[in-house]
């Protein structure tokens, strides 16, 4: 019943922008922190960004800070990741994930309970 579905991936040139979306069904976002992760070929999956259940707190990996912005629209049960100034090293499969929490913050350094299937983001000229 709990599902996360990513969309919005595609091919973009270096320096370009892309917004990926995570549509959540089966539960309300009000009590779940949401994280974005990515996995490049030959690499382990890494945390990119997360947003707290309240939406008041966010975290970003150093590699994307200042370029990416995470946001959520709880009324639409959707979380977004706006990616600007994209680099080839941003290429990978982007996953959204969730964990239930009552804390007014989020962390990428913990296990996430629910995962989407991912959307491919390719940054190439």
Specify the pLDDT at position 69: 98
Specify the pLDDT at position 28: 79
Specify the pLDDT at position 27: 79
- C-beta contacts of 48-53 below 8 A and 24+ residues apart: 48/81, 48/94, 48/108, 49/81, 49/108, 50/106, 50/107, 50/108, 51/79, 51/106, 52/101, 52/103, 52/104, 52/105, 52/106, 53/29, 53/101, 53/102, 53/103, 53/104, 53/106
User: What DSSP state is assigned to residue 56?
Assistant: S
Q: pLDDT in tens for each of the 125 residues of the chain? A: 789 999 999 999 999 999 999 999 987 778 899 999 999 999 999 999 999 988 889 999 999 999 999 999 878 989 999 999 999 999 999 999 999 998 889 999 999 999 999 999 999 99
Tell me the β-bridge partners of 71.
Answer: 80
């Amino acid at each position: 019943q709990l599902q996360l579905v990513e969309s919005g991936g595609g091919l973009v040139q270096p320096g370009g922008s892309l917004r990926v979306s995570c549509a959540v069904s089966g539960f309300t976002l009000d009590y779940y922190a949401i994280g974005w992760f990515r996995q490049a070929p030959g690499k382990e999956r890494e945390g990119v960004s997360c947003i707290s259940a309240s939406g008041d707190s966010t975290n970003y990996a150093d590699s994307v800070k200042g370029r990416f912005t995470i946001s959520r629209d709880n009324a639409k049960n959707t979380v977004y990741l706006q990616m600007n100034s994209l680099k080839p090293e941003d290429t990978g499969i982007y996953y959204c994930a969730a964990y239930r929490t009552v804390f007014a913050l989020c962390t990428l350094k913990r296990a996430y309970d629910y995962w989407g299937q991912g959307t491919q983001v390719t940054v190439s000229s």
